Amino acid sequence: CSFIHSPKGFPKLKNDTFLRAARGEETEHTPVWCMRQAGRYLPEFRETRAGQDFFATCRSPKLCCELTLQPLRRFPLDAAIIFSDILVVPQALGMEVVMVPSKGPTFTEPLKEVEDLLKLRQKVDVTAELGYVFQAITLTRHSLEGRVPLIGFSGAPWTLMSYMIEGGGSTTMAKAKSWLYCHPEASHRLLRLLADVITDYLVGQVAAGAQALQLFESHAGHLGPEQFEDFALPYIRDIAQAVKSKMKEEGLPLVPMIIFAKDAHYALRDLARAGYDVVGLDWTIRPQEARAQTGKDVTLQGNLDPCALYAPKEKIGELVKKMLEGFGTQRYIANLGHGLYPDMNPEHVGAFVEAVHAHSRHINKH
C-alpha cells in the first residue's frame, strides 16, 4: 500500500452495488459484506498481527490498509470496512485502553465517580487524536483501486459509555446501567460529549475517503425500551442529523449511513426513522417482521446467525436462500447478524458470499 497524500483523485469505483442498495436503488445482485471480515479467522490476518500490540496495529495506516484488503483478496465481497476499533474514541478522550490476551480490551482507569468525567478531554481535535484512522482510510481507498466502496465506522455513545464505565466487556453492564438510574444528568453529559466527538470523527472519515458509515450500538440489548429511548436513541438521531449537515457544510459527498443496534428489535420502528439509510439487524428477528416494522423507505442489512457458518457449505446455501426470500433481493444488503468468530473456516465465509450472489441473481431473473 503506497500512501498518496491528496485525498482527492481517488480511483473510479467499479462496483457500486453496495452503495446503490444502501440508497434504495435497484441492484442486479444483492450486495454482501461481513462484520469483522478483516479478522482472526484469516491465517494471513493472524500473521500480519503476530507479536504486534492491537492498538499499535490500529495506529499504523499501512497495517490497517493491509488487514482491510486481505478478505477482498479471497472473497468477491461488495464492500470493505476499514480495520480499526470502536475504542479509539475513548482513547481520543484521554482514556487508556489496553488489549489483554484472552480477556479483551481493558481500561486501566474506568470511570467510577461522576467527578471522573472531568478527567476526559472536553474538546477533542479529531485530526490530532484520530488522524491515523483518516490516513488509513485515504491509503486504503487508493489501494482498493475502486474495486468496492470503503465503509468507515464508529461505536455509538451508549456502547462506548458502557465500556468506559465497566472497564471492559460485561455480561450485565450493571455498573454502566447504574449510572443511567443514579446519575442521569452526568450520563447525558457523557453521552453528549461522545456524540459530539463521534460526529466529528465520522465527518473526518468521509473527508478522508470513506464512502459509507456504520454506527455500532453493540450494547443496545442491555437496555430496555425506556432506557434505550432516553439514553441511546436521541444520540443516534443527533449523530445522523449532525453528520449529514456537516457533510453538506463542508461540501463532502452525502454518504449512506447505517445504524446497527444489536438486540434492539423493540426499537426497530424508531431506528427506521432515525435518519439512517440502512438499518442493520442481528439474527434474532425474522426478515419479514423486520420489513413490516421498518417500512419501505429504508434498506435492511443482515442478519444470518454467524454460527450458521459452522454448518456444511450446502446448508449455508439453503440458509442464505431462505434469508433472501425473507428479505427480498432489493433494498437489502446481506451480512451476518454479528461479526465473524475467530475459529470460522474461511471457505465457509466464501460459501456464504457466493451463495448470496448466486441466489439473488437467480431470484432477480425469475
Q: Which residues are catalytic?
A: 36, 40, 49, 85, 163
Which of 309, 361, 305, 303 is CA-nearest to residue 333?
303
- Angle formed by the axes of helices 313-327 and 346-365, to 10°? 40
The 10 Å Cβ neighbour count of residue 288 is 12
Cα distance between residue 97 and residue 160, in whole Å: 12
Strand 104-107 and strand 150-155: pairing? unpaired
> In the sheet that 299-304 helps form, which strands lie side by side, from edge to edge?
80-81, 150-155, 212-217, 257-261, 278-280, 299-304, 332-336
Across the strands, what pairs with 81?
Answer: 151
User: In angstroms, rounded to a whole number, what is the distance separating the alpha carbons of residues 1 and 144?
Assistant: 9
SS3 81: strand
Radius of gyration for the alpha carbons in the chain, expressed in angstroms and rounded: 19
Distance between CA atoms of residues 36 and 24, nearest Å: 24
Distance between CA atoms of residues 277 and 4, nearest Å: 31
> How far from chain centre, in Å, is Cα 323?
21
Q: Which amino acid is at 325?
A: E
Name which of 50, 51, 44 is nearest 66 in CA terms: 44
Copy the grid coordinates of residue 241: 442529523
Q: Measuring CA to CA, how many Å separate 246 from each of 157, 184, 201?
A: 19, 29, 11
| Cell 483523485, located at residue | 9
Alpha-carbon span 260 to 295, nearest angstrom? 17
